Structure 1
Amino acid sequence: MSTKQFVLEVCADSVESTIKAQEGGADRVELCDNLYEGGTTPSIGLIELTRSKIDIDLHVLVRPRGGDFCYSDIEVEVMKRDIERLHELNVQGIVVGALDAEGQVDIERMQTIMEVAGPLSVTFHRAFDMAADPIKALDDLLSLGVDRLLTSGQAKSAFEGRELIKQLQERAGENLLVMAGGGVNASNVEELHDYTGVKEFHMSGAKVLDSRMKYRNRHVFMGKKIAIPEEVVQTIRTGKGPNGVPPLRLPEFELSLVDTGKVSAVKNKILLMK
């Protein structure tokens, strides 16, 4: 089996990360922003500069906000306008998803989005993993003509969800590409393929870098207020971890960057797969 039948997609939220992904052997990049929110639509500037720096296929996440995948008319209008701009930016596809209030694929909104997408490849993202009935959701995606489904098999990781991924792959056949994503790494990618039959894999391969900031105001959070145990808050504020454990860092002082080594490790495994 030719290695060209296998595809490794890397999720990235910066130009630097997309370059690292390409250097590691990625076949395609999914470009997004705000990974702390699970990913949102990247800026035009980020897309343009990324396109000028990498040669591999570029798919762009179209998601107007974090949170759920049940969108208002105005949010869909935002998505449509973003997609219209993407036609001008030499990208190969979009990554998108919409559910209704009952956890079903929102057929009407997806039809609207796909009409605007036109010739761009359409991947339905892990909104699928929040769907109430995965088999019905897959059938809906097949009826819509979606090109690809990204899923962890409705589990914490693709490896844990491999049984459902296998069922989805068998049901989709040649009509839709099922891409396994969520915790994909060099130690499980071969077994994932052997068990499920999928040929496309999605990974982040990210490593966390410490901020270059020397001065750090540990009393202010720039992001959402989240429920953090008081002992953790105190650890962050004081910069002192218990029992010699390194102090926790705030998201403001963490940077995420794709690790070329992690990507190349998975790619090398894929190159040996049959």
Structure 2
Amino acid sequence: MLRQLELSCSVSTMFSTIPCFCKRGDIIVADEGVHWGIQNGLQLSRSTIVYFKHNDMDSLRSTLEKIMTKNLRRYIVAEAVYQNSGQFAPLDEIVKLKEKYHFRVILDESNSLGVLGRSGRGLAEHHGVPIEKIDVVTAAMGHALATEGGFCTGNARIIDYQRLSSSGYVFSASLPPYLASAAITAIDVIDQNPELLVKMKQNIALLWKGLSDIKGMSLASNPESPIVFLKLEKSSGSTKEDLLLLEKMADRALKEDSLLVVSSKKSFLDKCRTLCLSGTFRY
């Protein structure tokens, strides 16, 4: 039976969840595109970290094959919707590899909760993967649920262990009841108004259509992603110059059109040649 642990700060969710389970001597195989919060959690764990190429299942398979011979605790860490690329994790394939090579999976659903799946339950529902096949699921509640805090879901043993060992839970105040109530209300609103998910998908499609013909730029994220990325079709050859160009574009969009866009300053994927549009479409 699945249980849940709530944390008072969304940022500390991955900061404390990963180090709670992963210790020195363990091995974590992580997607190279994970966001900075996960990266900090990986560093705090003091585990051996091995990165595989972003969303490349051949790279993941090759990495797991090399590690499976070691008699160590082994984890795969991924995001449902990558904050640094707007791409979806191929969760169905990750679960198959997890079962084949006997790894545990930690999945962050922060950007997919309330967005993906028939009822907004996230990437697991989107791919039709039983949630029980994912060992640990985390999410920040400051995105689609529009409140603060985060949560971790797993079986009873996992959650009970976190209550004793998770720094974000043990050494912090409990999640205020009004924030928990706000999150529950947001979930109820999504459940009772399925047309909101339909409207959001229409908004994403409309944004894609509007951005698809920008000269010199191309869309780089998943067409269903709530985080939309544009990238330069052709690099100047200098990461610094590419970043300056993107920052000028972002400044101009804000000044002339009151449109807030953000130039991605850190990306393993395309050396900062990316422009991120996030939060421009809500329910």
The TM tier, using the shorter chain, reads: 0.3 to 0.5
TM-score calculated relative to the size of structure 1: 0.37
